[in-house]
């Protein structure tokens, strides 16, 4: 049995120049498949809201919903690190709220780390979580919980001023104690510079090829939804069409009395 991926494992991978893989997972069967495939990190993202629960964006996701799905993923992951994505307003109110909510991911859900969005404004929260023994993954660039502030899903860090602020935020978060950092929807060269400046691993979600690892939403990369995906997503399969063909065949065979056949009957 392979040993569990930890924050120390990820740091060693960065030092060796070995790329890290992170995919989202929201349930037990997906977690088992990703774990068997050797994916390093399973993120129970607040993308749960869009992908699984049918919300317009990530903002409505609750702690209870997130914990419920994290528990299922943790039961399926034997090797991969499981990261719980803290929902909107679970850590932005007070430091005490953040510690109590983050602790639930480890204590109740079986996660190994939590992820939170934002920069220097959350440095105090990061310090408190780390002091409480809770590993933290940071997230800069396009942070979906701030979608209304950004005015939509737009590439961040395009201006010199914005790029410099992002670099400063990354360094502040690293000093505060994050163990890894997701960079979402920023120019590739900025991703390269941040990666070079940090000791901790960076994970690219549309931040170019120079980061220490790559992030994608599972349903996007497998082509499950049949919807348009972001530019940075590569679709490795088109499961939507495969599933629709299977469903259409099932409906047709039931209507025509082909299924069930003799081999399916007792």
Question: Is 160 noted as a catalytic residue in this protein?
Answer: no
Chain centroid to Cα 182, Å, comes to 9
Joined together, the tokens standing for residue 245 give 């063909």
Joined together, the tokens standing for residue 238 give 């088109």
Question: What gap in Å lies between CA 150 and CA 60, rounded to an integer?
Answer: 18
Question: What gap in Å lies between CA 166 and CA 188, rounded to an integer?
Answer: 13
Residues 6+ apart with CB under 8 A from 34: 23, 25, 42, 77, 80, 218
Helices (H) and strands (E) in the chain, counts: 11, 8
The residue annotated as part of the active site, out of 117, 174, 184, 193, is 184
Question: What gap in Å lies between CA 248 and CA 163, rounded to an integer?
Answer: 49
User: Active-site residues: which are they?
Assistant: 184
């Amino acid at each position: 049995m392979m040993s569990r991926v930890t924050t120390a494992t990820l740091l060693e991978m960065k030092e060796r120049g070995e790329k890290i893989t992170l995919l989202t997972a929201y349930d037990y069967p997906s977690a088992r498949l990703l774990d068997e495939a050797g994916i390093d990190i399973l993120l129970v993202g607040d993308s749960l809201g869009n992908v699984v629960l049918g919300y317009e964006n990530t903002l409505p996701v609750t702690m209870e919903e997130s914990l419920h799905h994290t528990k299922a993923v943790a039961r399926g992951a034997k090797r991969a690190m499981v990261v719980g994505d803290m929902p909107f307003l679970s850590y932005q109110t007070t430091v005490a709220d953040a510690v109590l909510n983050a602790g639930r991911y480890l204590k109740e859900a079986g996660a190994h780390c939590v992820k939170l969005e934002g920069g220097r404004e959350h440095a105090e929260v990061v310090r408190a979580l780390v002091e409480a023994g809770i590993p933290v993954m940071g997230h800069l660039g396009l942070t979906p919980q701030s979608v209304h502030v950004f005015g939509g899903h737009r590439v961040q860090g395009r201006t010199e001023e914005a790029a410099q602020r992002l670099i400063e935020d990354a360094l502040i978060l690293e000093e505060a104690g994050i163990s890894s950092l997701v960079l979402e929807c920023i120019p590739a060269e900025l991703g390269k510079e941040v990666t070079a400046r940090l000791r901790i691993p960076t994970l690219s979600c549309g931040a170019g090829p120079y980061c220490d690892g790559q992030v994608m939403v599972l349903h996007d990369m497998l082509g499950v939804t049949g919807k348009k995906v972001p530019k940075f997503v590569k679709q490795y399969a088109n499961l939507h069409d495969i599933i629709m063909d299977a469903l259409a065949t099932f409906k047709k065979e039931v209507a025509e009395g082909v299924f069930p056949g003799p081999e399916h009957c007792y």
